[in-house]
Structure 1
Amino acid sequence: MATNLLIDKETSIKDIAILVLFTLIAYIPFLGLPPWEGNEPLRVIIAKEMIQTGNWIMPILHGKPYLAKPPLMNWLIAISGSLFGTVNEWTSRLPSVVTTFITSLIVYFSTQRWLGREGRLFTAVMTLVMTGILKKGREAEIECLHIMIITSILLVWINGYLRRWKPALLWGISLFLTGIGFLSKGPQVLMFFYMTVIPYLLYRRKISLFFSKGHLFGMIILIIVLST
């Protein structure tokens, strides 16, 4: 058994190295070009304002509070800019690369119940190189961060459900992550979560889980996260 664990650990390290290599090749060389476009300058201006003023709580755009989108992506761009000493095309787009890579890791490690090692690696690599993700993963935009959060929420929930977690743990962790998701793109995260979970529970004839005390506990966790 110890030998099998060692082999699994070595295999996982090799697979992670492959994912790192794909990320480096597919994303890093392309971060500097083209110049910012679309909504990228908007994220960058807010991030620069955070660095310059030290006000990381309220996003500011041209001297006025910016409330159209939550601040999580702005924070990540500002952190990247602070670490590298400047906010430019490369540093502002790096958070999207990191979140895309993390998504591939989530897919790799969260699908062991259904896929073998090669299947998990293939799925994780395909996550990295899908056309839409390739494009958004090279931009200083919210989408790849949002994809990472949605992926983690749904895979945590389905793994917890199939492993028969206690309802409080199942809903508590899932809705805690959902609360974090509000900081990326707002209430859309609730729609993605419940439009997936409710039909699944109906299909499995387990809709009573939705009305459980555990779900109520999860909602309380969500409210606490949103109120902090």
Structure 2
Amino acid sequence: MLEILLLVEEKKIMLHKIQLKPYYLPILIVVGCLVFILNLDALYINIMEARNFITAREMLTHNNWIFTTIDLMPRYEKPPLPTWLTAISASIFGIKNVFAYRLPAALVSIFMVIMFYKLQLKLNIKKYTAFLGSLILMTSFYIVFSGRDGQWDIFTHSFMVACCYFFIKMIELEKHQYQNALLAGLFFGASLLSKGPVSLYALFLPFLVAYAITYKFKTSPALWKSISLFIVVGLISGTWWTAIAHYYDPEAFAEVANTESTRWFSYNVRPIWYYWSFFTQSGIWTIPALMSLFYWYLKPRVSNFKAYRFYFLWTIFSVILLSIIPEKKSRYLLPVLIPLAMATSFYVEYAIRNFKDNFSKLEKIPVWLNFGVLTLVSFALPFLLYFGLKETIWEMKYQYLLFSIFLVALGILFVYGITKTDMKLLFSLQVLMIVGILSFGFPLLKLIAPERNSPNVAQIRSYIEENDLNMYDVSGLFPELIFTYGKPIPLSIEEYGDDLPSEKEFGILVNEESTPEWRSRFEKYQLRFVDTLNLNPAISKGNNVRLIRNFYIATKK
């Protein structure tokens, strides 16, 4: 009888453990959907994604799947894998649907978070710490921005994270070694086919160096065979498109290759120390990220020193390699944020476990500063929105009120967490803040959308179609306009030949500040000014002259 009672009690304990088991991966997927997919079409498109979307659209409208184009001109600057995925999404959900064009980047961001989490488990990091790191990764500023934006950086680095995961499985001599080598090679190739060797240089190479220093590499004849398979599969799957484009369109491809290679050393050149504020790109995690870089401070305090050391070195080596290249842009720091998120999670975990009992007054300062700033932002943002948008805000009053209620409630919870010194609650609220901004705040971006300006692109196209005219641009490629316009706008500028359009009457768009001599080419035409098209955000009309075109009707005299 006693044995039966003990068995029943044991079953109850096991059932209780099962019920309390944290489902970290499903939670990450749900949060990932909220962060990357919800209100995905709220933000107006920028120049980078406009270029990519035009290329994807022309795959569908002109069948340019291999020899990629923008405004029907060759575009070989970027390999085509992300563009293919984007074109497929647009073919399913609608060629005019911005959500459809951005969806692949959002999905691949969620995929990156999943592979990142699995990578931590492979390195024997505790599930809870890996969970924290994954939450920090997906709510870091530039990860959020890239995952919700139609840029190809997120593709190349997401595929490389998957490559790192299967590469570790391969070198640890697990079962199915050749299968892991094949998968690592395919994801390596997918990364190359997304943005060339960018992630190889900025993410994979520092990963290898940091891993070699921290964990060492096991060697065996079988491993060398697997590595050979990995290299062959990676290079073939990642470079075949480059070979085809170079072979069949050598002149255009060579011109692009020359331009892109020289840009690394002559375009947007910044000093070598330009990236050393890299931790600020993590946005809401800036202060914890900075604290995670105090290596000698955290060394005796983290739960897994070996793993922390690996991610610290991976972060630093990535920054160093990026700093060597003369061309520098903030968005190039995206790969640094991946290992930095995990390094930050070790500091966050340490704070959660030890803040009440083991933190000195000095140690508590950055923690209180972090949550003090977030509390202040929570209470201040509703007022900043009101004074920034003024009466316009009342066009979406219910959305504004909902967002304001969320922010005030969040601020109150921050105050409560601070008074109770509940670090777990406070760091959870930090994640919730990003989710809430994207869920309740992003719809308000419609109030500053360029299509609110008058005339907008739809009105210009309607005017052109009603008068049965063709449209030309005499000031150079304007990607945001071309994508919104819905079809190519041919260029009529001197570098593309002196021939003017053959029609007797046609529309022209001109940026008179960038092309002041344009009228000399139209001396035989009567020019009638119609209106000014402005694609700046509605609250900052005129700030960026590149986004302004004067619209004329040219009629042959």
TM-score by length of 1: 0.81
For 1:215, the equivalent position in structure 2 comes to 227
Q: Within the alignment, does 1:111 sit opposite 2:120 as a pair?
A: yes
Structure-2 residue corresponding to 1:201: 212
CA displacement at 1:207 relative to structure 2: 8.7
Q: 1:129-151 CA deviation, whole Å, 9 max, x = no partner?
A: 11111111110111221221121
Identity of aligned residues (%): 20
Is the partner of 1:30 in helix, strand or coil? coil
Q: CA deviation at 1:60?
A: 1.3
Distance apart, 1:11 and its partner CA: 5.4
Higher RCO, Cα 8 Å, sep 6+: 1
Tell me the residue number matched to 1:151.
161
Residue 31 (structure 2) pairs with residue 22 (structure 1) = yes
For residues 48-70 of structure 1, what are the alpha-carbon distances to aligned partners after superposition, in whole Å with 9 as ceiling and x for unaligned? 10111233222111222211001
Q: How many residues align?
A: 223
Residues 36 and 110 in structure 2, CA contact (< 8 A), matched pair in contact too: no
Mapping of residues 135-174 of structure 1, within 5 Å? 135-164=145-174, 171-174=181-184
How far is 1:73 from its partner? 1.5
CA distance in 2, matches of 1:143, 1:98: 14
Greater Cα shift, 110-119 or 80-89: 110-119
Give the root-mean-square deviation of aligned CA atoms: 3.2
- Cα separation, 2, equivalents of 1:96 and 1:65: 23
Counterpart among 138, 156, 167 of residue 128 in structure 1: 138
| Distance of 2:158 and 2:53 partners within structure 1 | 21
Alignment of 1:42-53 (within 5 A): 42-53=51-62
The residue identity in structure 2 corresponding to 1:216 is S
| TM-score when normalising by structure 2 | 0.36
SS of 2:47's partner is coil
Measured in 2, the distance between the counterparts of 1:60 and 1:129 equals 34
Task: Give the 3-state SS of the residue equivalent to 1:112 in structure 2.
Answer: helix
1:161, distance to aligned residue in structure 2 (A)? 2.0
C-alpha deviation, 1:126, in angstroms? 1.9
2:386 maps to what in 1? none
For the Cα contact (< 8 Å) 1:30–1:138, is it kept in 2? no
- The question of whether the paired residues in 2 share the 8 Å contact of 1:33 and 1:89 is answered with no
Distance 1:46 1:177 in 2: 23
Instruction: Determine which of 7, 20, 40 is the counterpart of 2:49.
Output: 40
Residue deviations 1:142-197 (CA, integer Å, cap 9, x gap): 12212211211112212332345687666544333211211111022332323432
Where do 5+ consecutive residues of structure 2 fail to align? 1-13, 242-557
Distance 2:121 2:32 in 1: 22
Tell me the CA shift for residue 39 of structure 1.
Answer: 0.7
Q: Which structure has the greater CA radius of gyration?
A: 2
Q: Which whole-Å CA distance do the structure 1 matches of 2:58 and 2:48 have between them?
A: 16
Distance 1:202 1:121 in 2: 25
Aligned to 1:29, the other structure's residue is in SS state coil
